[in-house]
Amino acid sequence: MLDIKVVRQDPQAVADALKKRGFEFDVAGFVALDARRKQADVESQNLLAERKAASKQIGALIGQGMSVDDAKAQVNETLEKIAAQIDDLTGEAKQVQAELEDLLLAVPNIPADEVPEGASEDDNVEVASWGEPTALAFEAKDHVELGEALGEMDFETAGKITGSRFNVMYGNVARMHRALIQFMLNLHTGEHGYSEIYVPYIVNRDSLRGTGQLPKFEEDLFKLETDQGYYLIPTAEVPVTNVGRDRIFDDAELGEQGVKFACHTPCFRSEAGSYGRDTRGIIRQHQFEKVELVQFVRPTQSDDALEQLTGHAEKVLQRLNLPYRKVILCGGDIGFSARKTYDLEVWLPAQNTYREISSCSNFGDYQARRMQARWRNPETGKPELLHTLNGSGLAVGRTLVAIMENYQRDDGSIEVPEALRPYMGGAEVLSA
């Protein structure tokens, strides 16, 4: 959530900054609500002063010849009226404050200055690339054709079990999927300094509100039909980032590079806004898996931390020898809570294009303010908001797709990347 103090200071400047996203901030609505809140505060302060003055009038009334009982009765009557007015104003102030918070909960983060202008993914800017797009000496098959020919991808059975946008994997393809998870976790915990964490796959509304999924994206979530208000997680970002909710980290806990978690979870998304897109195969499914990287850092560290986190995700692709490019998202494509995002896009020969395989974002203090995730600054001794970051390191299913398509052979077999062979019992090739 945006800092309400910053918005109050110059709401028009905030509106101008949000135009980069194509978002229209309701300046007039905010100013009107804030004026109501200020007026309620002023009137409350005036009534408090009246109450203080009234409570001192008993002696003066007695001095004017009124009996003690009558003086007390008159003053008490005045105090009761003032108390009732104060209660009314306090209730109004709380209501207006709640309306202000609801308004700001629906406002996205302000993009960083370096985020490029643009309206859609077509305006994202490539900043780096690694490897050359795979050139096959034969017509490339996509992962669906390859997987079905191996007898190890079964969309028909998944449709019978559940419905569309689900998958059943068997044998070596299923084993490679598992191998990728192990490989990614070992790389991030062994070389990149992350602590592995296991979290619930079901979260409450407060957790989703804390990371910015609610109230904006409720239609994209799977809500459970229970009285507790539970949801299936859309990404490990939600439960892992909420580890810091309502918490104050000691400076020593942050160490030199902050708190860094790596987490493998399934993810569940209704994909309400993407009907008709990527319906073939496992590019965009209702259930998929990721290894997620989450960091809590001091505000002065988050810009550098984003570069490092993105590099950690890139290292997975490099170890697997998968060609990719790195793009910075434009204002019109950046996520709701992010202030800056890099996407990593892997080369898919069957589509003859790059496709997203990881998004790595710096959220600044946007999520931390919603969650009250803080650290105690040793220089001031006071709690201050942390900065949060996360990124996929990587999306497991899409990595599997990239391997199948980039490592395919003319006979339909698939070479196993060297980095994965220790996790595959030494297997070098997947074949029917």
Residue 367: partners with Cβ closer than 8 Å, 6 or more residues away: 210, 211, 212, 241, 337, 373, 388
As a whole number of angstroms, the distance between CA 409 and CA 432 comes to 12
Query: For residue 276, what pLDDT is reported?
Result: 62
Residue 359 annotated as binding site: yes
Q: What is the pLDDT of residues 229-272, one digit of tens each?
A: 999 999 999 999 999 999 999 999 999 999 999 999 999 999 86
As a whole number of angstroms, the distance between CA 87 and CA 384 comes to 32
Residue 390 annotated as binding site: yes
As a whole number of angstroms, the distance between CA 315 and CA 292 comes to 14
Residue 44 annotated as binding site: no
Provide the 10 A C-beta neighbour count for residue 253: 13
What's the chain's length in residues? 432
Residue 77 annotated as binding site: no
Which among 348, 285, 289 has a CA at the least distance from the CA of 155? 285
Query: For residue 134, what pLDDT is reported?
Result: 97
Residue 63: pLDDT over 70: no
Among residues of the chain, what percentage have pLDDT more than 70? 96
Residue 44: pLDDT over 90: no
- What is the average pLDDT across 278-301? 95
b (16+ CB within 10 A) / e for 195-205: eebebeebbeb
Please state whether beta strands 195-196 and 259-268 pair in parallel, antiparallel, or not at all (unpaired).
parallel
Query: For residue 256, what pLDDT is reported?
Result: 96
Which among 176, 105, 110, 115 has a CA at the least distance from the CA of 146? 176
Q: What is the pLDDT of residues 185-226, one digit of tens each?
A: 999 999 999 999 999 999 999 999 999 999 999 999 999 999
Residue 145 annotated as binding site: no
Q: Residue holding tokens 């998202």?
A: 329
Residue 302 annotated as binding site: no
- What is the average pLDDT across 372-388? 97
Confidence of residue 274 (pLDDT cuts 50, 70, 90): low
Query: For residue 367, what pLDDT is reported?
Result: 98
Mean pLDDT in the chain? 94
Query: For residue 319, what pLDDT is reported?
Result: 98
Provide the 10 A C-beta neighbour count for residue 35: 11
Residue 28 annotated as binding site: no
Residue 359: pLDDT over 70: yes
Query: For residue 295, what pLDDT is reported?
Result: 98
- What is the average pLDDT across 50-74? 72
Residue 284 · residue 274 · CB < 8 Å: yes
